[in-house]
Structure 1
């Protein structure tokens, strides 16, 4: 029986062999509760590190970090001697990175790219590169990087059809959007590899499963690096690159870093703006993302994420207004709904309708305030720009928002019951359930904060 397990880290699942060496490392910690990490000797990472050091002169990683498996966050990078503010924690040589420019100049891929003249997104270009070099196997100069990559991810697209059917609508919409991207990439990749097969007598045509792996490898691991002279066949910005080893760093909303190329342009660097003690895990910051964004793009959520919120749409607010007869002076306040809706949409108040634990977004409160105005109040609706707290019907606004929270919470609780009925679920779906629970908690806290 194979002694293999799947280590799920930051939305990624790696194959991890747990043999006697691994068990000896675990025994070094006498009290498991006090053991925050174990040294990560995953062979593919060891080989990757050696490959990067041999690939170019000048070193690669600056030996400040070591791969480790942390009890709370899984695989990541930790300090060895500690770091001071302003220290460079990781620097990857430009030669060890993969950009769209590298793909367009690749010995084998350059021909079909030029011949077919496909209109490609940067994500598609990098995905095709990964698929090609994974197929090359031992013949690829990027073999050690390919071997170090996860075999699967925990973003919504990796949920099964059965799991997707019981998801809330906003997650189904995300899945459909991801599938549309994958299908587009699949069709272009089929043409590319089809031409390669004819030219080189190879017989590899990527499946949709292959595309899904490559696409989300790029999506979850690429760093921001803008190309000032992008290839004209690209239909979007050339702003992403793959940086081996660097992508082991995990995200934290509290991390403070500076990223970018060194002054001489030879290295991609990450500099910490906060100090770290010895043997602490080092984090980067993807940006002020809520948990829905983190799940969609990276396949994980953060507990107590201060940026998290629950999305709403204008139709939900309109439905409550139409059906609510309990509000004060209901008939007068439900008049002119079409006119009110036009004001809201024309001024983009219908966008970013969201509820956080602290209460509604500004747009959400403004849209609700306008919908609850009488005809006289509506003639001076611009007052919302100056003073929302002084509106005479603010208590009605809060009651309506609280009602919306309760309706959405009841719906999510029902959805969650159906989600819990799925047995032996995927890791991606397990993350979806955690996200819905997080949404329920946010709505519960928001409802308490909205006192009528």
Structure 2
């Protein structure tokens, strides 16, 4: 559901089908999948200018019904890059001349996701491309921060700016790494397709493929959609993909917040390596109130779009004729939607402000050892997973308890540096762990961090409002400003809650 919640008001009167949609459907038919004859769905250009293309249902579907099944051949992931001789030669060269000769434990390496980027780019500029009609059905640009004017990014509040800049830095690092590899390889390659790819491997084109894949992908396990030969090659070029390595249930073994954040990033990296793109289905829009979901069907190796299952706990969502089919991209807050997909939701039930290590570290006044113990305790007790506050419930219990722990350490700093053993300190915390003991001091810490955020967000709004008229007319500006306003609302509501003694006491 792009561009906030406005798409809910769309009325599909003309069911307009443009040339790109027609060519995409023709391409599917040429490859033995006549989606139009299936008659369950149709892809159209929405009349809502904020939404673009969308998928409509041609008939009514009961709960848990199959709308369409996309055959295995249309699941586009890294395995297809192994069918292009020039790319295989590049991967072989990389393996022999780079991977084996360098200690890459803590350095950039090619990944399965990079192979998918290179596949799409090679096919985009290959005059004999098998995927060209599908590739040209994709948008030519995106509304994610990679396409923002830098002036907008510079004037965001730190809460948004940090993650936006972190993503852009990763993008730039990956671009430069792959570009340099391709340039070295092109010196010894005689493959015309590789030469064509190298010539077109610039920042603009890489930005396009980076955003195309990351904002339009589905996920499926490697063992589900790749055969053993593909996996053997992938392991050779990119390393073994052990999905369990990224599971956050291993976080209990982390000794610091830095290790925990690295584990989070590793988990996300592994998930990204499971990306695949599915033509036609990549036009499905997002809603938190979705009426369908997509899942890989291992029995027949297809990606299946189904109507939501019947539920005793919530209103059953039917897929009705001529209505848009929505899936959910995940239970994301607006910051995630903004960075990953380039839209926000005006009424997002999952929206929240999540405080991180850097925000809360400022509240800790103890020595380094005590600080380390606070984070170890928080990690082991799973407090870190939800250090947030929202409009509906205010601060999470995990946040309140962590603030309580911080206060205990701050208040008892002298005691904790006495001859009392660490063992007795730990057991004391264990005994009181499930009780929040100092709710008035917790409130002080909570208000301190909220007021710091409020100051930063108000400053950001002032700076954004002072930008040029031309910038203020762009969608990127309007979305960014609205996001700052929505987060200010969350901050204000939580400040008011903390200052209301009766409501604050009810949290405990």
Same fold (TM over 0.5): yes
Check conservation: 2:293, 2:328, Cα contact below 8 A.
Answer: no
**Structure 2: distance between partners of 1:215 and 1:155:** 11
Residue 431 (1) aligns with residue 479 (2): yes
**Structure 2: distance between partners of 1:34 and 1:107:** 46
Number of the residue aligned with 2:158: 169
Query: Following TM superposition, by how much is the alpha carbon of 1:440 offset from its aligned partner in structure 2, in angstroms?
Result: 0.9
Residue 287 (1) aligns with residue 287 (2): no
Q: TM-score, normalised by structure 1?
A: 0.80
Number of the residue aligned with 1:44: 20
Query: Following TM superposition, by how much is the alpha carbon of 1:102 offset from its aligned partner in structure 2, in angstroms?
Result: 1.1
Q: How has the CA–CA distance of structure 1 residues 34 and 262 changed in structure 2, closer, same or farther, with 3 Å as cutoff?
A: closer
Which shows bigger deviation, 370-379 or 286-295?
370-379
Q: How has the CA–CA distance of structure 1 residues 178 and 34 changed in structure 2, closer, same or farther, with 3 Å as cutoff?
A: closer
Aligned counterpart in structure 1 of residue 206 of structure 2, from 195, 203, 211: 211
**Structure 1: distance between partners of 2:284 and 2:412:** 55
Give the match's secondary structure for 1:152: coil
5+ long unaligned stretches in structure 1: 1-8, 12-32, 323-335
For 1:363-422, what per-residue CA distance to the aligned partner results, in whole angstroms no more than 9, with x for missing partners?
32112112233439985333553233xx3x313323432343233123201111212222
Give the match's secondary structure for 1:89: strand
Check conservation: 1:61, 1:91, Cα contact below 8 A.
Answer: no
Residue 359 (1) aligns with residue 394 (2): yes
Q: How has the CA–CA distance of structure 1 residues 344 and 87 changed in structure 2, closer, same or farther, with 3 Å as cutoff?
A: same
Query: Following TM superposition, by how much is the alpha carbon of 1:174 offset from its aligned partner in structure 2, in angstroms?
Result: 2.2
Query: Following TM superposition, by how much is the alpha carbon of 1:245 offset from its aligned partner in structure 2, in angstroms?
Result: 0.8
Query: Following TM superposition, by how much is the alpha carbon of 1:148 offset from its aligned partner in structure 2, in angstroms?
Result: 0.6
Q: How has the CA–CA distance of structure 1 residues 184 and 263 changed in structure 2, closer, same or farther, with 3 Å as cutoff?
A: closer
Alignment of 1:290-305 (within 5 A): 290-305=333-348
Aligned counterpart in structure 1 of residue 142 of structure 2, from 129, 132, 153: 153
5+ long unaligned stretches in structure 2: 4-8, 100-108, 242-269, 309-316, 417-424, 502-508
Aligned counterpart in structure 2 of residue 109 of structure 1, from 69, 76, 87: 87
Number of the residue aligned with 2:220: 225
Q: How has the CA–CA distance of structure 1 residues 318 and 181 changed in structure 2, closer, same or farther, with 3 Å as cutoff?
A: closer
Aligned counterpart in structure 2 of residue 270 of structure 1, from 289, 305, 324: 305
**Structure 2: distance between partners of 1:70 and 1:344:** 54
Number of the residue aligned with 1:250: 285
Q: How has the CA–CA distance of structure 1 residues 93 and 200 changed in structure 2, closer, same or farther, with 3 Å as cutoff?
A: same
Check conservation: 1:352, 1:361, Cα contact below 8 A.
Answer: yes
Query: Following TM superposition, by how much is the alpha carbon of 1:249 offset from its aligned partner in structure 2, in angstroms?
Result: 0.5
Number of the residue aligned with 1:10: 2
**Structure 2: distance between partners of 1:177 and 1:339:** 28
**Structure 2: distance between partners of 1:36 and 1:395:** 54
**Structure 1: distance between partners of 2:124 and 2:64:** 37
Residue 448 (1) aligns with residue 496 (2): yes
Number of the residue aligned with 2:264: none
Number of the residue aligned with 1:341: 371
Aligned counterpart in structure 1 of residue 111 of structure 2, from 121, 125, 128: 121
Check conservation: 2:36, 2:42, Cα contact below 8 A.
Answer: no
Aligned counterpart in structure 1 of residue 40 of structure 2, from 52, 64, 68: 64
Number of the residue aligned with 1:375: 412
Aligned counterpart in structure 2 of residue 78 of structure 1, from 45, 56, 70: 56
Q: How has the CA–CA distance of structure 1 residues 281 and 93 changed in structure 2, closer, same or farther, with 3 Å as cutoff?
A: same
Q: How has the CA–CA distance of structure 1 residues 90 and 180 changed in structure 2, closer, same or farther, with 3 Å as cutoff?
A: farther
Residue 311 (1) aligns with residue 326 (2): no
Residue 94 (1) aligns with residue 72 (2): yes
Q: How has the CA–CA distance of structure 1 residues 134 and 386 changed in structure 2, closer, same or farther, with 3 Å as cutoff?
A: same
Give the match's secondary structure for 1:39: coil
Query: Following TM superposition, by how much is the alpha carbon of 1:157 offset from its aligned partner in structure 2, in angstroms?
Result: 1.8
Give the match's secondary structure for 2:222: coil
Q: How has the CA–CA distance of structure 1 residues 371 and 364 changed in structure 2, closer, same or farther, with 3 Å as cutoff?
A: same
Query: Following TM superposition, by how much is the alpha carbon of 1:256 offset from its aligned partner in structure 2, in angstroms?
Result: 5.6
The structure that is strand-richer by fraction is 1
Check conservation: 2:125, 2:200, Cα contact below 8 A.
Answer: no
**Structure 1: distance between partners of 2:295 and 2:358:** 42
Q: RMSD between aligned alpha carbons?
A: 3.0
Number of the residue aligned with 2:238: 234
Query: Following TM superposition, by how much is the alpha carbon of 1:434 offset from its aligned partner in structure 2, in angstroms?
Result: 2.4
**Structure 2: distance between partners of 1:226 and 1:375:** 49
The structure that is helix-richer by fraction is 2
Check conservation: 1:359, 1:449, Cα contact below 8 A.
Answer: yes
Check conservation: 2:291, 2:319, Cα contact below 8 A.
Answer: no
**Structure 2: distance between partners of 1:362 and 1:185:** 41
Q: How has the CA–CA distance of structure 1 residues 399 and 85 changed in structure 2, closer, same or farther, with 3 Å as cutoff?
A: same
